[in-house]
Structure 1
Amino acid sequence: MTDSAAPETTDRPLTQDGPAIRLWMIDASAYIFRAYHALPPLTRKSDGLPVGAVQGYCNMLWKLIRDMKGDDGPTHLVAIFDHSEKTFRNDMYDQYKANRSAPPEDLIPQFPLVREATAAFGVHCVELPGYEADDLIATYACKARDAGGEAVIVSSDKDLMQLIGPSVVMWDPMKERRLAEEAVFEKFGVAPDKVVEVQALIGDSVDNVPGAPGIGPKTAAQLIGEYGDLDTLLARAGEIKQPKRRETLIEFADQIRLSRELVTLDCNAPAPEPIDDFAVRDPDPEALAAFLDRMEFRSLRTRVGDGKAPATNGTAFVARPKAPSAPVATPRYGQVAEGPAEVQTVDTEAYACVQTLEELDQWIARATEAGVVGFDCETDALSATHAGLCGVSLAIGPNDACYIPLTHEHPPAADAGGLDFGGETDAREPLTQIDKPEALKRLKVLLENPAVLKIVQNGKYDLAVMAQRGIRVAPIDDTMLISYVLEGGLHGHGMDELARLHLGHEPITFKSVAGTGKAQKSFKHVELKPATCYAAEDADVTLRLWRLLKPRLAEARLTTVYETLERPLPAVLADMERAGIRVDPDRLKRLSSEFGLRMAELEQQAHDLAGRPFNVGSPRQIGDILFGEMALPGGRKTASGQWGTEASVLEELALTHDLPRLLLEWRQLSKLKGTYTDALIEAADPATDRVHTSYQLAAATTGRLASSDPNLQNIPIRTETGRQIRQAFIAAPGHVLISADYSQIELRLLAHIGDIPELKRAFAAGIDIHTATASEMFGVPVDQMDPETRRRAKAINFGIVYGISAFGLAAQLNIPQGEAGDYIKTYFERFPGIRSYMDATKVQVRETGMVHTVFGRRIHIPAIHSKSGAERQFGERAAINAPIQGAAADIIRRAMVRMPGALEAAGLSTRMLLQVHDELVFEAPEAEAWRAIPVIKRVMEGAAEPAVALTVPLVVEARAAGNWDEAH
């Protein structure tokens, strides 16, 4: 819209007799924080100035300007900012917003730059000392409405929903959703004019509005609906039947009235400027170009051009309300949704199959302009390091997605519907696809563009696949990890489950396009049409999930958890997986042969003891021998009618009988042979002898990583056979392996979290913690400690962390249960802080269903609400351990994220290969290992800082050797 086309402005208020006001107000402060959290940190290359929030804000503002063109677009546009933290509400209540932390340090210098950006795009800026942006939005909305026009509030802030009504609506720019009266009822259960009364009751933890303790949204809506308004409710509070509710309303009546004053927006705030000044205008091209050049936003400047945005398919969105969908329960944090928040239509027929470079260029251009793109790749194998790339899919919006096939082939003749070419050349028409090197060359520009956010689901795999082809995909947001941060422990985080949960959509299954069993074919043999539907849907659904889930991080105050513990890790793990670790295949083969021979010996000895041959790998036959024929005590039959022969049963019997002992040894060797020696030989790359494990980030609720294909985290550490397997992991020629392991990190964290003075003193002094514990418990001087007493203290130390019982400790130490119970009682008497921590944790998990780590990670414990008493007890034990184990997992994640940069900054070529819970394994050139170890120790020992200042020191033991066992 040009200046000449702008609506006529006058000094008088515009009314229905004059030009109709269509005032759009941007909640600029919300835009800033959303922009800050949407992309990774970005600095201006020339001087290192943080500009990530400015760039994100510019992208969002430009999209809004571009989309708003049309007959129903705004006549007036303004961005409204918060002026300062202190407002008139602080005079009413000095604790208002008192619990809000200061803005991030790298965001503070970007606030004035955002205001400059707004002006550069030709949008008016308004702010007012002593008032919040929400008050100005309320004031201008009322002025526009009273002048016979309409107001559109560009925000999703629930606090602004009280303004919705005739001629006032909201527009959620992230979900591209119009919010009117029905959205208010869906959110609060009342009409807009009753929102402040509901908010007065429920309060607001974010703004520190007190409300009525114990009254939640549903109860508040029910009470207001029943009594009509807040004043009537408080006047008649004595009539309420529920005692606790009645007492709360009577006791906290003044607090509730104060809360109403705090949440009510001021529609009569002084208007700094008249609405006439906000008339829509195009930006000054020179001023806009100068600003973007100064910020070094070259890609954005290319997209923006002269700033005169053409109309797009997004025009006039305010005038087209969405068809109302059936109300469905939206999940609160800590709960699993009972149904999708909004059922979305996925039209797989609308997807495009990109088969020419011209089409590819168009999609790349559109994705670049959008600034956010869903991304997924399809391969012909599960191993990212060895998979062939079949194609790539992109998504720009709902049902606006494509698949770019690169290496699809016709299936072999035998699989092609019975076609037989009689030995002749395949007569089928070749598939139309883009030249793979040329396509990757062009996609590289998009996928490495720092101004375009790539949205992935379990993106570590995609990052590794593309890195194998020289493409470093960044920046990314991962919907699997966002879901994991929000609701870890409540449900799975795979794309299909999230699509069902949040979109009400059942995605196309792999087997429906590739078949199952022996008939299953490689994805590269899937025809292009079904391949397009399947692959493009992945990108489309992933982008939709991101639009729904990403805003919830800020609402739940979990953005820092995601940004520091989850988002950076896929790239780090992808590099580790690609590097792999070298194994000695000859040594593994010898071990496998030795294990096999020893298993044969054990099998023969078992037959001799049983008096007849039997299958030592058959639980049924073992049960019949032990309990049926030998009549050993303690036999229990399972629900299937056969004898239980699990490890715990055999371990108990092995104390007094030889046959169970032989069977346990045979089982261990069988597992080691099948899971490690044989499997590692099979898994090793024949060209490099390196094994490439795969890490799962969202596997454990505590944040611990899991390893698979092969699993390298469960190799026994203390047994001789386990050590022999670790000796088969070797360094490359001219290199050494470095093992760096946190020493007793969980006990150190218990001392910090539980605030245990005795343990803190021991750790600070560097005294052996088990010796110190034994001395406290049994009164033995440290210098006179005997090994057996220390061993008992060690068993209790570690057992307490996992909620061990007297029965469990008795079994572990082979002592009477009563004596074990006395040990535990003495332990709690000597360390009362541990009992206090455990009791407080149980109360917390019963009330909230979750616990937290010191870094803010939420760990949901659904078992705590089970109808089964045994499951609830399990939930309590899990809750006690989770903050400790979770904090340890968070610390090593923080160390892993920082490690590559620290090694590079030190000029080292040492690289990280493995993570095994509290241990990191590196490969370093022999000549630099002595320099690498101090860097590794410094990063690991300081990993908690600056987020958490631990009151106990973290200690890392690290050494270098030619194989993993000697380095450990």
Structure 2
Amino acid sequence: MSFGKGCHLHLIDGSAFIFRAYHALPPLTRKSDGLPIGAVSGFCNMLQRYVEGNAGGDVTHVAVVFDKGSHTFRNEMYDQYKANRDEMPEDLRPQIPLTRAATEAFNIACKEIEGFEADDIIATLACRAREAGGRVTILSSDKDLMQLVGDGVEMLDPMKNRRIDREGVLEKFGVEPDRVVDVQALAGDSVDNVPGAPGIGIKTAALLINEFGSLEALLDRAEEITQPKRRQTLIEHRAQIELSKRLVQLDCGMDLPFTLDDLEVREPEPDTLLGFLAEMEFRTLSKRIADALGAEPPVVMDTDPRGTEVEGPAEVPFTPEAYECVRDMDALQLWVERITERGYVAVDTETTGLNEMQADLVGICLAVEPGAACYIPVGHKAGGADDLFGSYALIEGQLALDDVLALLKPVLEDAAILKIGQNMKYDAKILARYGITVAPIDDTMLMSYAMNAGLHGHGMDALAERYLGHTPIPIKELIGSGKAQITFDRVDIDTATRYAAEDADITLRLWQRFKPQLHQTRVTTVYETLERPLVPVLAAMEMAGILVDRQVLSRMSGAFAQKMAQLEDEIHGLAGEKFNVGSPAQVGEILFERMGLEGGKRGKTGKYSTPADVLEDLATMHDLPARILDWRQVSKLKSTYTDALQDHIDPDTGRVHTSYLQTGASTGRLASTDPNLQNIPIRSEEGRRIREAFVAPEGKVLLALDYSQIELRILAHVAGIDALKEAFRDGQDIHAMTASEMFDVPMDQMTPDIRRRAKAINFGVIYGISGFGLARNLRIPRSEAQGFIDRYFERFPGIRGYMDETIGFAKEHGFVQTLFGRKIHTPEINAKGPGAGFAKRAAINAPIQGTAADVIRRAMVRMPAAIAGLPATMLLQVHDELLFEVDEEAADKVIAVAREVMEGAAEPAVRLDVPLIVDAGRGANWAQAH
């Protein structure tokens, strides 16, 4: 058909699809020859979803548009255009031509032109289609294309499924689409290296363009601007701003070697498309597309991200309208029978909030096979949250909560039925408050973490998109966001059913995919011994909580406020004038302009940046930045801890109930949230005092058991450092011994300062510290700090050998391992540029920190059984420390039992060359115990 009125053109930004596919998926190679094909796989999945999503729609013409080469006419205008772009990753380069071949295999027009960017081709096609009276949808989130929106042209962000129309552009840029280029010309673009006007951002640019009408009018009337700095910038940089506009302005008048009619939608040729997919060895996608085309699937091998053959779950389409809403007990009884017969079930709960100690149960979701899922509403309320009469009344047509739980309890507690969850700890805690102990369990989040730590996140939405090619219904569509957000119990039941049952369906499908991969990727032991059994242990600790004395926190807040005032006086005295110590910009002015110190850098707004690392550098030479750092630390202690902790005290228990995230760090260390108790500073006197507010109830004490220098012990073992091993075996003061070795000071002449320096180096080396970092820690010149590090490596040559060996292993395999087999992936290890050093330091540290994390996890898993007959509760884990609440008279017994568990935690899996030593303390509060 000839393009004209009634036609609808889709223009797909091919480069965006490719980079999205490349960064979203783990590395994948073709089994037969090792060719990288991860981006091609993701690209094909995206094209297939596009084709399926638009089948039977009103799209008449379509093209996927690509960039061809990196040199365009804009580089002739400005040789620095896109000069800051990183080199294309080596494993992506050979995949680029394959994405063109994929587009053609789908029988979609594939267009690229030498010397022009894809955006210019899209702009020319969009303008021609608009002139011909047709509609245009540009599938991209690229802000540069927003200048084309309006009069029949709109954009669709395919990843978020969000349409961008004239109002969307106005919201993004503050101006109508036809003035977007003017705003971009002023604000510049760091991604494309477009210079713009120094110090002017998007908001200011929009204000100026709206006031003056256009960029040209603004530049011609720049003398009228009242702010002197802004006026001067526009006058002095006029040529640069005008160049920037030419760089960002899309070319809508290109000569194209094809017409709109050439882009007509065509059905894929089954033989061509399936032949290409078979050549790429995409088994699952081949089968799905063959079924959709009604053709015989080709015989190919499927590969997982590590090149291992894998059977995926049955490809059943997601059909939310098919999910069942269970509204009577007979229907629920049928689900119980199906679950009992199957032997496993995916479970998910819907609640009124994220705080498991306070949230109410709104509904329960179950799934027994892909596509077969249900939602059991029990707590949906009538009316709005602000409706006085309806706010607590339950909507009719829901089963009674007690009846539902009575029927489900035997299933959820049955040892013969596996309960599968995504972040099962949350659901287990919710159900525990209703008297149900969920066991046994599997957790898809933890399976992903065991296999893919360091590669990507492990949230359900990300996993569904990555491994199932499915974008789940966003929760914001149901409950909104910001001030207008509602709780889940106010959501319409039919809408809730589609969303909630989908979660259980996704969880089951992920489990079917991940369970066999645990063995294939050799992480079954990690999952079965370090991840899964820790879930009930952490759930019990979180529900126990720790008693916090609100009055102590309140008094500390007052003391910290006084301390801040005292430091402010000192700072003002050193500066010779008063200023706002809490304002980074004013701090920058004092340090870099008034005092003339070096190292000041201005941000895009033109104001100085004064992050901690900059101040730490300056503190090695001047007292003022050191005092400002002290002020900031006290200020953070007050706002983050003594003030905020009071809000976290549970009104029912009087305790603080933190939540532990097992997947929070790729190394296996636990993260702690709401509140974060892992990073209470203990190096400063003020930081240590915060622990005084964590107290034991009357008749009990807190016990703190802490691994002594565990990471140094593990380093001595893995790096084979005989001097350190011997010192640990002999029970020597390791920091004093290191100081003696390095600085040639006899042990009996050791000073606290020399020992402190050796301690900083000992721990610094574990984290791959640089001369810069050590200089900041010790507040000494960099040259002196680097000299310490060099001497350290000379005295302990095994450490350098371990580092080189670890980096070599990471580069070859793409991951490093702990002594217990935990894999920590290192995708950036072969990167160049500023990130390379960080990636290497992370790779060196990961096996040491990860092994220490594994040791304490093993201790925690064994602890409940060890202390089962004692009046003791394990409350907290903070890195290398476990905290218990114990009856006073049982303290000695608990210390003996817990110490034995912790010191023997590595065995029998790993026998270390050095002993693990655990220090123990007790007290009425945490500060006394530690």
Q: TM-score range by the shorter chain?
A: 0.5 to 0.7
Structure 1 counterpart of 2:233: none
- Please give the residue correspondences for 1:461-860 in structure 2 after superposition, counting only pairs within 5 Å: 461-603=426-568, 606-607=571-572, 613-655=578-620, 657-860=622-825
Structure 1 counterpart of 2:916: 954
Structure 2 counterpart of 1:411: 383
Structure 1 counterpart of 2:895: 933
After superposition, the C-alpha distances for 1:584-603 in whole angstroms (9 at most, x for unaligned) are: 00111111122223334444
Counterpart amino acid of residue 908 in structure 1: L
Q: Distance in 2 between matches of 1:777 and 1:424?
A: 76
Structure 1 counterpart of 2:885: 923
Residues 1:889 and 2:861 are matched in the alignment: no
Structure 2 counterpart of 1:34: none
Tell me, what secondary structure is at the counterpart of 2:644? helix
Tell me, what secondary structure is at the counterpart of 1:863? coil
Note closer, same or farther for the CA distance 1:325–1:716 as it changes in structure 2 (3 Å cut): farther
- On the 8 A contact 1:898/1:939 being kept in 2, the answer is yes
After superposition, the C-alpha distances for 1:467-520 in whole angstroms (9 at most, x for unaligned) are: 111111011110000000111110000000000001100001111111121221
Note closer, same or farther for the CA distance 1:607–1:342 as it changes in structure 2 (3 Å cut): farther
- Please give the residue correspondences for 1:393-472 in structure 2 after superposition, counting only pairs within 5 Å: 393-412=365-384, 414=386, 430-472=395-437
- Please give the residue correspondences for 1:144-543 in structure 2 after superposition, counting only pairs within 5 Å: 332-333=304-305, 345-412=317-384, 414=386, 430-543=395-508
Counterpart amino acid of residue 793 in structure 1: A
Note closer, same or farther for the CA distance 1:326–1:889 as it changes in structure 2 (3 Å cut): farther
Q: TM-score, normalized by length of structure 1?
A: 0.63
Tell me, what secondary structure is at the counterpart of 1:773? helix
Tell me, what secondary structure is at the counterpart of 1:713? coil
Counterpart amino acid of residue 873 in structure 1: G
Note closer, same or farther for the CA distance 1:377–1:893 as it changes in structure 2 (3 Å cut): same
After superposition, the C-alpha distances for 1:865-920 in whole angstroms (9 at most, x for unaligned) are: 22x3321221111111100000000000001111001111xx20211100000000
After superposition, the C-alpha distances for 1:32-57 in whole angstroms (9 at most, x for unaligned) are: xxxxxxxxxxxxxxxxxxxxxxxxxx
The CA deviation at 1:937 is: 0.2
Moved more, 437-446 or 544-553: 437-446
Q: Distance in 2 between matches of 1:668 and 1:779?
A: 35
The CA deviation at 1:660 is: 2.9
Q: Distance in 2 between matches of 1:641 and 1:610?
A: 22
Note closer, same or farther for the CA distance 1:532–1:751 as it changes in structure 2 (3 Å cut): same
Tell me, what secondary structure is at the counterpart of 1:717? coil
Q: How many residues get paired?
A: 643
The CA deviation at 1:669 is: 1.8
The CA deviation at 1:658 is: 4.9
Q: Distance in 2 between matches of 1:333 and 1:854?
A: 23
Counterpart amino acid of residue 381 in structure 2: E
Note closer, same or farther for the CA distance 1:745–1:438 as it changes in structure 2 (3 Å cut): same
* Structure 2: unaligned runs, 5 residues or longer: 1-29, 32-93, 96-286
Counterpart amino acid of residue 825 in structure 1: D
- On the 8 A contact 1:460/1:574 being kept in 2, the answer is yes
Counterpart amino acid of residue 586 in structure 2: Q
Q: Distance in 1 between matches of 2:671 and 2:854?
A: 14
The CA deviation at 1:643 is: 1.0
- On the 8 A contact 1:480/1:494 being kept in 2, the answer is yes
Structure 2 counterpart of 1:172: none
Counterpart amino acid of residue 750 in structure 2: M
The CA deviation at 1:427 is: 13
- On the 8 A contact 1:325/1:343 being kept in 2, the answer is no
- On the 8 A contact 2:619/2:776 being kept in 1, the answer is no
- On the 8 A contact 2:616/2:776 being kept in 1, the answer is no
After superposition, the C-alpha distances for 1:591-641 in whole angstroms (9 at most, x for unaligned) are: 112222333444455456556654332222322233234433332223443
After superposition, the C-alpha distances for 1:155-175 in whole angstroms (9 at most, x for unaligned) are: xxx99xxxxxxxxxxxxxxxx
Counterpart amino acid of residue 796 in structure 2: F
Tell me, what secondary structure is at the counterpart of 1:915? strand
- On the 8 A contact 2:314/2:370 being kept in 1, the answer is no
Q: Distance in 2 between matches of 1:443 and 1:376?
A: 13
Note closer, same or farther for the CA distance 1:861–1:548 as it changes in structure 2 (3 Å cut): same
After superposition, the C-alpha distances for 1:89-122 in whole angstroms (9 at most, x for unaligned) are: xxxxxxxxxxxxxxxxxxxxxxxxxxxxxxxxxx
Identity across aligned pairs (percent)? 55
Counterpart amino acid of residue 528 in structure 2: E
* Alpha-carbon RMSD: 3.0
Counterpart amino acid of residue 500 in structure 2: A
- Please give the residue correspondences for 1:99-110 in structure 2 after superposition, counting only pairs within 5 Å: none
The CA deviation at 1:457 is: 0.3
Counterpart amino acid of residue 888 in structure 1: A
Q: TM-score, normalized by length of structure 2?
A: 0.66
Structure 2 counterpart of 1:912: 874
Structure 2 counterpart of 1:874, from 838, 850, 860: 838
After superposition, the C-alpha distances for 1:795-850 in whole angstroms (9 at most, x for unaligned) are: 22112111122343344445554444443333223322212111111111111111
Note closer, same or farther for the CA distance 1:807–1:630 as it changes in structure 2 (3 Å cut): closer
The CA deviation at 1:863 is: 1.6
Note closer, same or farther for the CA distance 1:600–1:769 as it changes in structure 2 (3 Å cut): closer
Tell me, what secondary structure is at the counterpart of 2:875? strand
Q: Distance in 2 between matches of 1:942 and 1:967?
A: 22
After superposition, the C-alpha distances for 1:252-295 in whole angstroms (9 at most, x for unaligned) are: xxxxxxxxxxxxxxxxxxxxxxxxxxxxxxxxxxxxxxxxxxxx
Q: Distance in 2 between matches of 1:325 and 1:643?
A: 62
Structure 2 counterpart of 1:289: none
The CA deviation at 1:369 is: 0.9
Counterpart amino acid of residue 405 in structure 2: L
Tell me, what secondary structure is at the counterpart of 1:358? helix
Note closer, same or farther for the CA distance 1:781–1:556 as it changes in structure 2 (3 Å cut): same
Tell me, what secondary structure is at the counterpart of 1:952? coil
Q: Distance in 1 between matches of 2:636 and 2:495?
A: 41
Q: Distance in 1 between matches of 2:300 and 2:554?
A: 58
Q: Distance in 2 between matches of 1:827 and 1:570?
A: 41
The CA deviation at 1:463 is: 1.0
Note closer, same or farther for the CA distance 1:601–1:823 as it changes in structure 2 (3 Å cut): closer
Q: Distance in 1 between matches of 2:662 and 2:672?
A: 9
Q: Distance in 2 between matches of 1:328 and 1:737?
A: 61
Note closer, same or farther for the CA distance 1:783–1:326 as it changes in structure 2 (3 Å cut): farther
Q: Distance in 2 between matches of 1:574 and 1:476?
A: 13
Q: Distance in 2 between matches of 1:678 and 1:598?
A: 15
Q: Distance in 2 between matches of 1:571 and 1:427?
A: 33
* Structure 1: unaligned runs, 5 residues or longer: 1-157, 160-217, 220-316, 416-422
Q: Distance in 1 between matches of 2:865 and 2:775?
A: 48
Moved more, 729-738 or 635-644: 635-644
Note closer, same or farther for the CA distance 1:503–1:333 as it changes in structure 2 (3 Å cut): closer
- On the 8 A contact 1:333/1:556 being kept in 2, the answer is no
Counterpart amino acid of residue 667 in structure 1: R
Q: Distance in 2 between matches of 1:623 and 1:821?
A: 28
Note closer, same or farther for the CA distance 1:329–1:616 as it changes in structure 2 (3 Å cut): farther
Q: Distance in 1 between matches of 2:601 and 2:391?
A: 63
- On the 8 A contact 1:577/1:692 being kept in 2, the answer is yes
- On the 8 A contact 2:381/2:392 being kept in 1, the answer is no
Residues 1:900 and 2:872 are matched in the alignment: no
